[in-house]
Each structure stands twice: as C-alpha cells, then as structure tokens.
C-alpha cells in the first residue's frame, strides 16, 4: 500500500486505530537487546505456540480490518532492565518481571484466557509490597516519558501501530500546514537543545542550514553511542525506529534537504535491523522516497554502519566516516552546518533529539516549554547503571535532582553508601556527596551541570558507592579515551597518553605530589588545545575527581594506600593473630603459597610472595584476614 495523499494516510490511521482497539488484550514482550539476551524471543515463540494449540485468536501483526483477537508483539525496551525479561499485558497494564519460558502456560491460562494476574511474577519492593501495574512501580512513577513514549507500548516492527498511535502526524503538519521557516521557528521557540553532548540549540542549527544558499543539503542522525554504560539511543532506534525517521524527515522539510543518513555503530545489529525494516516500510507506504504523500517533497534515507570508533561521535569525524574516509575530526570553521557531509550544509543531531521533534510539532512549543526549568526544557533520557538497585533506561524532566533519580527511581545505592556518580561518560565529570560538596540535590540540566564542571553528555549515569576508588575511576575513563583517540592532534594523542601513564603510576603506588601538579597542567593544556570536543573534554573525569576527591589522590601518593581498598598494588593482607584459629584454610587456598604456619597456631602472610588476590580473606570464616 502506498499512500498518495494526506487524506489516505488519515483514513488508514482511523482504520488502524479501530483494529488496535479491537484487540481485547495485548501481550507486549520486551525485545530490546537486554531482554533478547535474557531469552525474551523464546518466550514470544512459546506463547505463540501455546495460543495456536489452545485456538486462542492471535494477531502477530496489526490487520486493517478490525476483529476481536489477542495481539502478541515484540516491543522495544521497557526500561526496567534489571528485571528482564519483561512482559506487559494490556489493557490492564500488568507488568511481569524475570519471565521464563516455563512461565508461559500459567500466563496464558490466568492472564490471557482468564483475567487473573500472576502474583508471583509482579514486581515487589524491598519491603515486599507488590505492584501489579507498571505505572505504579516507583521506577516508572517518577518518570516523564516523551522520547521513550512508545518504547515498550507498541510493536517495534510495525508501521501500522506507529501510525495508529499518531505516528507521522508531525510529518503531515510539516509538509502541508507549515513553511520551513515556521518549522524552524517552532523548534527554536521550544528551546529544544541537542541531547547528544553540550546542548546546542536545535532550532539555531536548523536555521543556519536553512539559510545556506547551497541547493544540496543533508540530514544526519548520530546513532554512534560509544560511552561506557550508555544505551539510550540504541533503545530508541530498536524500540521506536519510525519516530527517529519522522524527526529526521521534519528536519529535512525544515531545511529543504532531500537526503539523509543514520549513522549507527555496527555493534548495534538489532537497531540496524529495525531501522532498515522501518525505512523499507516507510518507502512502501509512500512516506519515504519521491513525492511523499503527494506533497511534491522528496526524501531518501540511508543507514551507514560505523566501525565502533568513539571519536566518530564527533560531527566532522562522523561525516568523514560516512564518506568512506577514516573517522577523524577536522579544523573548524567551516562548521558542519556550512560544509558537512560531502562538503554540503548538514543538519546533524543525535537520536534522542530527533525523537523529541514529532511531539513538539504536534503539541506545540509552548507545551514543551512547560516542562523543565528556563532554557533547559523538555526531558532527558539516562542510562542508570553501576551501584544502584534499579538499573535501566529512564526519562525525567530536565531539572530533576540527582537524589530523585538515584533514590526514588533507582531504589537507592547498592552495596554501600552513595559516593559519586559519573555523568556524561568519558567527556563528563563526577558529581559527589562529600563533606565539602553535596551534589545530590543538584538539578540535572545543561546549565547547572556546567557550573560544577560536569555535563549531561549523551546521558550515561554510573552510580558509585563508598567502596569505589575515584583514582581508579579516573584511570579507567582516561584509559578508554586514550585508546579511542584518533591520533590526529598532538594534545590528545600524546597528552592523554601521558596522563594515563601518571594515573597508572599513582594506582601502582609509585606516584608523587609532583605528578598531581603535572596531571592538572596536562589537563588544562589538552582542554585548551585539542582539536575536537572529545579531546577537549577528555580530562574532565580527572579534573572533577581531583577537585572533589583530592584526599584520595594524596592517600595514594603520600601514604601509599587506597582508602577504598580497590588498587591491588596498594593493598596488603595481614592475619590478626588474636582472631586466627590456625585452621590452615587460608594457606590451602593461597595460589602462591604465601601463607605459612602450624595447625592451631596463628598463620602469617609473606608480603613478598603475596599476589593480593584476596582468596585468603574470602575463605576465612573468622574474619582474621584484614587489609593492612
């Protein structure tokens, strides 16, 4: 079917809505990468098999003609990754967690054929309180999902369902009701800022491309999400690919561009597959390609797979990679809006930014501005990971405090007390809770974070408890950045290497106070002289940890101790003779025979032989082995 006009699309929308409403129940099985790894597709196949055996009318795809049936669907990420595989049942809104294939028969009998909730599969909090409905679970209740609105609620592989829930309404409005300048003005008025890094105003970027006299222009989507622990863009591409496409198409109409590229790293095969299918569907339905919906506007969309280089998240390196060249940044100006892909004016935004566009156009800039603080409007998706009880994908209004995210949504810190959170990945910095600084009540928005030397970045949030060594955290991120440096400019290529060498010295117990001074000097030089944004922000984890946890650095270089007990070279194991029972278990478990003694007498550890593996401490039932 190819829609040749706006009217045909709207008539089809009404039919799809009626067909969707005729599904008396919908079973939405999370088919995001995390749940797929946990076996969710096996659950899907087993439920399909059981429904066929029991003659339960089952629809795997949305039919145009309505008839009473049960919809069985592979949805996008539900977000509560800690609890996967996840299964949601509509219209009741029940959410089942940790679902297994062997649960399928009970789910079919009680919840699909019958109307009874399977109590043992619902979420329970630490006090044992059960939550049958997804929206009542504290993890979800505190969120405001705009970019993630459809993830987990519709079939991720169906253009019909996307149309049924209002998909491509923003496109038709852009094509038939607005001029390009009006679209740009609406996006500018909304104060939407880029969700992939520093928060550059989206409307200003679009206006700059629209103003270019060059007739050939491009729209590019940055799906190269390389931050450790980040998976926001991946989940949106997997769970709502048509929304990404629609946001790009609105940008194309607004800037008079007729060709676009989605740049996705090859490590995201499911995202590539879903986007490819969505593009094929949109072309078949007349929503992509020539003379879209009879408007006379043409737009063609392609997928370009990246090789996984972190630097290709930078705009000029990304466009170079699409062109078939090595992904390396170039000197600016000219900017991407003037000479981007193939030296043509280019709109370049990330996945989440484009996912906000359809909602803004449909509901209006004033509505969007009602969310979040001044100049930081809308919502932000975060990947909440690390030492937190509820890990997963969340979306909250800009300005939400760190305390609300970690304790209300995340369920609190796991394995200890809150110490810090790394925000924004390798380009970001640490927020902390210390005697000197308390960032727990800080509002998470672009401007507030900039004031304390951090940034939202793409949205990774790695929570750390009091057992985390902040020097090792800085070393980890510097090691990542140094490995990912493209090597084009000397400050980044050589400077990050030198910083990493110093950090390695410190965690190995060989650092000096002069090394701390040199670290800061190098960090300042790299920040001011590196070629691209990634190089300029590479020192941020080091600078923020030096600022807020300097005492830990001093302990490493002066006392030769790691206060958190994480740096192996600075650990020493000792046996308390008053607690040792002389059972010899520690000696028997030591892999290098570093422990000696006599039965029923205190044992001792030879520090010259000890490899600091911790086997003796783990095996001692009496707590006699301690870190010295």
Backbone phi, psi, residue 105, to 5°: -65, -40
CB distance 479 to 501 below 8 Å:
no
Q: Is the pLDDT of residue 458 over 80?
A: no
Residue 581 CB coordination number (10 Å): 15
pLDDT at 408: 94
211: three-class secondary structure by DSSP: coil
Reference 235, options 535, 32, 1, 480; nearest CA is: 32
Compute the mean pLDDT over every residue in the chain, rounded to the nearest whole number: 94
* DSSP letter for each residue of 225-236: --STT--HHHHH
Residues 360-403: tens digit of each pLDDT: 999 999 999 999 999 999 999 999 999 999 999 999 999 999 99
- Please name every residue paired with 30 in a beta bridge, in sequence order, or none if there are none: 75
Residues 193-213: b if buried by 16+ CB within 10 A, e if exposed: bbbbbebebbbebbbbbbebe
Q: Is the pLDDT of residue 49 over 70?
A: yes
Q: Give the rounded percent of residues in the chain with a pLDDT score beyond 90.
A: 85
Angle at 588 between CA 586 and CA 594, to 5 degrees: 70
Reference 555, options 539, 572, 567, 542; nearest CA is: 567
Q: What does the block give as tokens for 533?
A: 């944004």
30: three-class secondary structure by DSSP: strand
Angle at 287 between CA 284 and CA 293, to 5 degrees: 115
Q: Is the pLDDT of residue 38 over 80?
A: yes
Angle at 609 between CA 605 and CA 613, to 5 degrees: 80
25: three-class secondary structure by DSSP: strand
Query: Comparing 186-195, 271-280, 425-434, 456-465, which segment has the lowest mean pLDDT?
Result: 425-434
Local confidence band at 435 (pLDDT 50, 70, 90 cut-offs): low
Residue with tokens 């949030």: 461
- Please name every residue paired with 74 in a beta bridge, in sequence order, or none if there are none: 29
Q: Is the pLDDT of residue 135 over 70?
A: yes
Q: Is the pLDDT of residue 349 over 90?
A: yes
Orientation of helix 470-484 relative to helix 490-507, angle to 10° = 150
Q: Is the pLDDT of residue 427 over 90?
A: no
Residue 379 CB coordination number (10 Å): 26
Of all helices (H) and strands (E), which one includes residue 473?
A: helix 470-484
Q: Give the rounded percent of residues in the chain with a pLDDT score beyond 70.
A: 100
What is the spatial distance between Cα 74 and Cα 94, in angstroms, rounded to a whole number? 16
* 226 to 37, 281, 288, 459: CA distances (angstroms): 20, 28, 29, 11
């Amino acid at each position: 079917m190819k829609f040749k006009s706006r009217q045909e699309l709207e008539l089809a929308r009404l039919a799809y809505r009626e067909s969707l409403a005729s599904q008396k129940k919908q079973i939405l099985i999370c088919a995001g990468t995390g749940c797929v790894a946990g076996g969710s597709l096996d659950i899907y196949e087993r439920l399909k098999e059981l429904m066929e055996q029991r003659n339960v009318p089952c629809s795997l795809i949305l039919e145009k003609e309505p008839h009473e049936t049960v919809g069985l669907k592979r949805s996008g990420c539900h977000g509560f990754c800690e609890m996967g595989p996840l299964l949601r049942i509509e219209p009741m809104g029940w959410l089942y967690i940790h679902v297994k294939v062997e649960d399928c028969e009970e789910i079919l009998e009680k919840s699909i054929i019958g109307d009874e909730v399977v109590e043992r599969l619902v979420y329970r909090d630490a006090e044992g309180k059960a939550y049958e409905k997804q929206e009542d679970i504290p993890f979800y209740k505190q969120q405001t999902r705009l970019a993630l609105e459809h993830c987990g609620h519709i079939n991720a592989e169906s253009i019909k369902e996307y149309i049924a829930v209002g998909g491509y309404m923003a496109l038709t409005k852009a094509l038939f009701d607005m001029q390009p300048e009006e679209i740009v003005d609406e996006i500018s008025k909304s104060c939407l800022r880029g969700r992939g890094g520093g928060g550059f105003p989206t409307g200003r970027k679009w206006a700059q491309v629209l103003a270019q006299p060059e007739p050939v222009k491009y729209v590019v989507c940055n799906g190269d999400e390389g931050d450790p622990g980040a998976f926001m863009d991946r989940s949106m591409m997997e769970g709502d690919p048509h929304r990404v496409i629609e946001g790009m198409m609105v940008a194309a109409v607004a800037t008079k561009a007729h060709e676009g590229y989605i740049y996705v790293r090859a490590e995201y095969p499911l995202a590539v597959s879903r986007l490819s299918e969505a593009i094929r569907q949109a072309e078949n339905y007349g929503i992509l390609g020539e003379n879209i919906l009879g408007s006379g506007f043409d737009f063609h969309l392609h997928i370009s797979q990246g090789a996984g280089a972190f630097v290709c998240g930078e705009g000029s390196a990304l466009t170079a990679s699409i062109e078939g060249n090595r992904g390396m940044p170039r000197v600016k100006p000219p900017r991407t809006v003037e000479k981007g892909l193939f030296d043509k004016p280019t709109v370049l935004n990330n996945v989440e930014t484009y996912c906000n566009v359809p909602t803004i156009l449909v509901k209006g800039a004033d509505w969007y501005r009602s969310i979040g603080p001044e100049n930081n409007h809308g919502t932000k998706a975060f990947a909440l990971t690390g030492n937190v009880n509820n890990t997963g994908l969340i979306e909250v209004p800009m300005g939400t405090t760190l305390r609300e995210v970690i304790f209300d949504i995340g369920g609190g810190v796991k394995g200890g007390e809150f110490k810090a959170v790394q925000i924004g990945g390798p380009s970001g910095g640490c927020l902390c809770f210390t005697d000197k600084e308390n960032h727990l009540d800080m509002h998470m928005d672009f401007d507030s974070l900039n004031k304390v030397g951090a940034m939202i970045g793409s949205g990774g949030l790695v929570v750390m408890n009091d057992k985390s060594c902040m020097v090792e955290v800085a070393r980890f991120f510097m090691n990542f950045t140094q490995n990912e440096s493209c090597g084009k400019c000397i400050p980044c290529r050589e400077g990050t290497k030198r910083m990493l060498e110093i950090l390695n010295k410190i965690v190995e117990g060989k650092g000096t106070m002069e090394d701390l001074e040199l670290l800061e000097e190098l960090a300042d030089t790299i920040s001011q002289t590196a070629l691209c944004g990634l190089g300029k922000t590479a020192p941020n984890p080091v600078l923020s940890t030096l600022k807020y946890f300097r005492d830990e650095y001093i302990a490493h270089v002066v006392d030769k101790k790691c206060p958190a007990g994480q740096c192996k070279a600075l650990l020493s194991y000792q046996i308390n003779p008053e607690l040792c029972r002389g059972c010899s278990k520690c000696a028997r478990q030591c892999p290098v025979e570093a422990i000696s003694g006599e039965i029923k007498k205190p044992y001792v550890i030879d520090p010259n032989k000890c490899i600091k593996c911790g086997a003796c401490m783990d095996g001692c039932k009496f707590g006699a082995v301690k870190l010295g």
